[in-house]
Amino acid sequence: MFKSVFGAAIALGLAATPALAEFPEKDIQGIIQWGAGGSTDTVARSVTPHAEEALGGKVILQNVTGGVGAIGLNQVERADADGYTVLFGAENPLLYKVMQLGQKDYSDFVPVNILARGVPILVARPDAPFDTFPEMIEYIKANPKTVKFGSTGPGGLPSVVSAMIQQKTPIEVTFVPYDGDGPALTALQGGAVDVMPAVLGAAIESIKGGKMKPIAIFDTEAAPQLPEVKTIVETNPEFADFLPWGPFFGVFVKKGTPDDVVAKLSEAYKTGAANEDFTKLIDGRGYKMLSLSGDDAQKFLTDWQSKTSWLVWDAGIAKKSPEEFGIPKP
Amino acid sequence: MHPSRNRRPGELVFNLILVGASLFLLYSAYGISGFEALSSPGAVPMLTTAVMVLAAGRILWEVLRKPVATDQSFIRDILPMPIVVTIAMVALYALALSRLGFIPTSVLFLIVMVRYLSRRGWGFCIGVAVGTVALIYLVFRLIFSVLMPQGIVPEGEILAWFSRLF
Amino acid sequence: MDILSNLLMPVTDLKLLGLIAVGTFAGIYVGAIPGLSVTMAVSILISFTFSWDVYPALALMIGIYMGGVYGGSRTAILLNIPGAPSAIATAMDGFPLAQQGRAGEAIGIVTVVSFIGGFIGILALALFAPSLSDFAIRFQPRDFMLLAIMGILLVGSLSGESLIKGVFSGALGIGIGAVGMDPLTVQDRFVFGFDELRGGVSFIAVMIGMFGVAEALSQLHSVNTPAVKQRITRIIPAWSMVRKHLPLGMQTSTIGTVVGALPGTGGDIAALMAYDYAKRTTRNPETPFGKGAVEGLVAPETANNAAVGGAFIPMMTLGIPGDAVTAIMIGALFIHGLNPGPMLMVEQPHMFWFIVGSLMLANCFMLIFGLTGIKLFVKIVELPRTVLIPVILILSIVGAYAVNNNVTDVYWMLGFGVFGYFMKEYGYPLGPVILGVILSRLLDDNWRRAIISEQESLGGLMRGIVTSPLSLCLFLAVLLIILSNTPVWRYVRRNKAA
Domain limits of chain C?
2-453, 460-498
B67 and B28, same structural domain? yes
Which residues of chain B are within 8 Å of residue A7 when distances are taken between CB atoms?
152, 154
Hey, of B150, B162, B164, which one would you mutate to test binding to chain A, going by the most A CBs within 10 A of its CB?
A: B164
**Whether A190 and C139 lie within 8 Å, measured CB to CB:** yes
Set of chain C residues whose Cβ sits within 8 Å of the Cβ of A208: 341-343
CA pair distance B47, C393, nearest whole angstrom: 35
Question: How many residues would you count in chain A?
Answer: 330
pLDDT at C21: 94
Q: What percent of chain A is helix, strand and coil (3-state, nearest 5)?
A: 45, 20, 35
Residue C482 in this model has a pLDDT that exceeds 70: yes
pLDDT at res. C289: 87
Phi-psi bin for A133: left (phi > 0), alpha (psi -120 to 50), beta?
Answer: alpha
Side-chain-facing half-sphere of C81: CA atoms under 13 Å:
33
Q: What contacts 24+ positions apart, CB below 8 Å, involve B118-127?
A: B118/C384, B118/C386, B118/C387, B120/C386
Instruction: Specify the DSSP class assigned to residue A305.
Output: H
Question: Do B42 and B60 share a structural domain?
Answer: yes
d(CA C456, CA B32): 18
Cα angle, residue A313 at apex, residues A309 and A317 outer, rounded to 5°: 110
CA-based radius of gyration for chain B: 24
Amino acid at B13: V
Instruction: Please indicate whether, in this complex, the C-beta atoms of C50 and A61 are within 8 angstroms of each other.
Output: no
Beta strand pairing call for A148-151 and A174-177: parallel
Helices (H), chain A: 2-15, 39-55, 70-78, 93-99, 133-142, 157-168, 181-189, 200-208, 232-235, 259-274, 276-284, 294-314
Q: How far is residue A27 from each of residues A47, A59, A61, C135, measured CA to CA in Å?
A: 17, 6, 10, 47
**Per-chain mean pLDDT for chain C:** 86
- B124 and B151 assigned to the same domain: yes
Segment B47-96, tens digit of pLDDT: 999 999 999 999 999 888 888 877 777 777 788 888 999 999 988 988 88
* Closest C-alpha to A93, from A76, A79, A80: A76
Looking at the domain assignment, is residue B159 inside a domain? Answer: yes
pLDDT of residue C136: 84
Is B143 part of a structural domain of the chain? Answer: yes
Q: What was the pLDDT predicted at A19?
A: 40
Chain A interface includes B164 (CB < 8 A): yes
What residues in B contact A10, CB-CB < 8 Å?
A: 153-154, 157-158
Q: Does A19 touch chain B (CB under 8 A)?
A: yes
Q: Where are the alpha helices (DSSP H) in C319-343?
A: 324-335
CB proximity under 8 Å: B 34-93 to A: none
How far apart (Å, rounded) are the C-alpha atoms in residues A245 and C38?
Answer: 37
Q: Does residue B25 sit at the C interface (CB-CB below 8 Å)? A: yes
Residues B86 and B160 in one domain: yes
Q: Do the chains contact at A49 and C449, CB–CB below 8 Å?
A: no
Chain A nearest-CA residue for C42: A36
C140, C183, C342 ranked by CB distance to A179: nearest: C183
Per-residue pLDDT band for C270 (boundaries 50, 70, 90) equals very high
Q: Looking at the structure, tell me whether residues B143 and B73 fall in a common domain.
A: no
pLDDT confidence band for C496 (50 / 70 / 90): low
Cα–Cα separations (whole angstroms), residue C10 to B164, C124, C125, C346, C436: 36, 20, 17, 21, 40
Sorted by sequence, the CB contacts under 8 Å of residue C257 that are 6+ apart come out as: C120, C121, C124, C132, C306, C307, C309, C310, C313
Write the residue in B78, B90, B139 that is nearest to C414 by C-beta. Answer: B90
d(CA B62, CA C279): 27
How far apart, in whole angstroms, are the C-alpha atoms of residue C399 and residue C391? 12
Please state whether A316 falls in left (phi above 0), alpha (psi between -120 and 50) or beta.
Answer: left
Q: Please report which confidence band the pLDDT of residue C119 belongs to, taking 50, 70 and 90 as the band edges.
A: very high
Could you tell me which residues come within 8 angstroms of residue C486 by beta carbon, excluding any fewer than 6 positions away? none
Contact A208 C183 (CB under 8 A): no
B125 lies within 8 A of chain C by CB: no
Number of domains in chain B: 2
What distance in Å separates the CA atoms of residue C348 and residue C329, rounded to the nearest whole number?
16
DSSP for C60-119 reads HHHHHHHHHHHHHHHHHHHHS--SSGGGHHHHHHHHHHHHTT-HHHHHHHHHHHHHHHHH
Chain centroid to Cα C94, Å, comes to 15
Contact C334 A41 (CB under 8 A): no
Compute the C-alpha angle B140/B145/B148, nearest 5°.
65
CA distance A205 to chain B (A): 32
Nearest CB partner across the interface for B118, out of C164, C384, C440: C384
pLDDT value, residue A318: 82
Maximum distance among all Cα pairs of chain A, rounded to whole angstroms: 78
Helix (H, G, I), strand (E, B) or coil at A150: strand
pLDDT for res C498? 47
The rounded distance, in Å, linking the Cα atoms of C164 and C402 is: 35
Kindly state whether residues B84 and B160 are assigned to the same domain: yes
Answer whether residue C461 shows pLDDT above 60. yes
- pLDDT given for residue B133 in this prediction: 92
Question: Distance between CA atoms of C363 and C62, rounded to whole angstroms?
Answer: 10
Mind listing the pLDDT tens digit of every residue in chain A (330 residues)? 444 444 444 444 444 443 435 788 888 989 998 877 778 888 898 899 999 988 888 888 888 877 778 888 888 998 888 889 999 999 888 888 888 888 888 989 999 999 999 899 999 999 999 999 999 999 999 998 889 999 887 778 888 898 889 888 888 889 998 877 788 888 898 888 999 998 888 888 889 888 899 999 998 888 888 888 889 988 888 888 888 888 899 999 999 999 999 999 999 999 999 998 899 888 888 888 999 988 999 999 999 998 888 888 888 888 888 888 888 887
Q: Are B52 and B58 in contact (CB under 8 A)?
A: no
Q: In this complex, is the C-beta atom of C186 within 8 Å of any C-beta atom belonging to chain A?
A: yes
**Considering only CB atoms, which chain B residues are within 8 Å of C184?**
41
Sorted by where each starts, the structural domains of chain A and their CATH numbers stand as: 23-118+246-325 (3.40.190.150), 120-241 (3.40.190.10)
Read off the pLDDT of residues C148-167 as tens digits, 9 standing for 90 and up. Answer: 898 888 887 787 778 899 99
Helix (H) or strand (E) holding A217: strand A213-217
Do A113 and A275 contact (CB within 8 A), yes or no?
Answer: no
Residues 6+ apart with CB under 8 A from C316: C125, C129, C340, C344, C345, C351, C352, C355
Cα distances (Å, whole numbers) of residue B105 to A307, B59, B153, C362:
49, 41, 11, 38
Q: Does A74 touch chain C (CB under 8 A)?
A: yes
Residue in A closest to C45 by C-alpha? A45
- Rounded distance between C-alpha atoms, residue A91 and residue A303, angstroms: 12
Q: Is residue B4 part of a domain?
A: no
Pairwise CA distance, residues A149 & A166, whole Å:
13
From chain A, pick out residues whose CB is under 8 angstroms from the CB of B102.
none
Whether pLDDT at B118 is above 50: yes
Contact C250, C306 (CB under 8 A): no
Q: Which domain holds residue B144?
A: 80-165
Distance from CA of C2 to the nearest CA of A (A): 23
Contact of C99 with chain A, judged by CB distance below 8 Å, is answered with no
Calculate helix-pair angle for C458-467, C141-152, nearest 10 degrees: 90
Taking the C-alpha atoms of residue B51 and residue C436, their distance in angstroms, rounded to an integer, is 13
- Least confident range of A78-82, B2-6, C392-396: B2-6
Task: Report the alpha-carbon distance of residue C278 to residue C274 in Å, rounded.
Answer: 6
Q: Does B94 touch chain C if contact means CB atoms closer than 8 Å?
A: yes
* Residue in A2, A3, A27 nearest the CB of B160: A27
Rg from Cα positions in chain C: 22
Asked if the C-beta of B78 comes within 8 angstroms of chain C's C-beta atoms, the answer is yes
Looking at per-residue pLDDT, the higher value among C377 and C301 belongs to C301
Q: Which of A64, A175, A186 sits opposite C320 (nearest CB)?
A: A186
Looking at the predicted structure, is the pLDDT value of residue B161 above 80?
no
Residue A40 to residue A88: CA distance in whole angstroms? 7
Q: Which residue(s) pair with A174 in the sheet?
A: A148
CA of C340: how far to CAs of A120, C32, C327, in Å? 20, 31, 11
User: Residue A190 is nearest to which of C50, C140, C183, comparing CB atoms?
Assistant: C140
- pLDDT for the residue A213: 92
Q: How far apart are CA B48 and CA C148, in angstroms?
A: 14
Are B157 and B84 part of one and the same domain?
A: yes
The predicted structure's pLDDT at residue C308: 94
Instruction: Give A220→chain B minimum CA distance, Å.
Output: 37
Asked whether A200 and A286 are in contact (CB, 8 A), the reply is: yes
Contact yes or no for A280 and C180 at CB 8 A? no
Q: Are residues B85 and B157 in the same domain?
A: yes
Between chain A and chain C, the number of residue pairs with CB atoms below 8 A apart is 156
- Say if residue B151 is in the same domain as residue B97: yes
Contact (CB<8Å) B160/A7: no
Q: What is the DSSP letter of C182?
A: -
Identify all chain A residues contacting B161, using CB atoms and an 8 Å cutoff: 14, 17, 19-20
Residue C263 φ then ψ, to 5°: -70, 130
For residues B36 and B84, membership in a common domain is answered with: no
Query: How far is C-alpha C209 from the chain's CA centre?
Result: 18
Amino acid at A101: L
Q: How remote is the C-alpha of C224 from its chain's centroid?
A: 34
Whole-number CA gyration radius for chain A: 21
Task: Report in angstroms the alpha-carbon separations of C267 from A68, C65, C272.
Answer: 26, 11, 9
- Is B25's CB within 8 Å of C192's CB? no
Q: Which residues of A touch C47 (CB under 8 A)?
A: 45, 48-49, 61
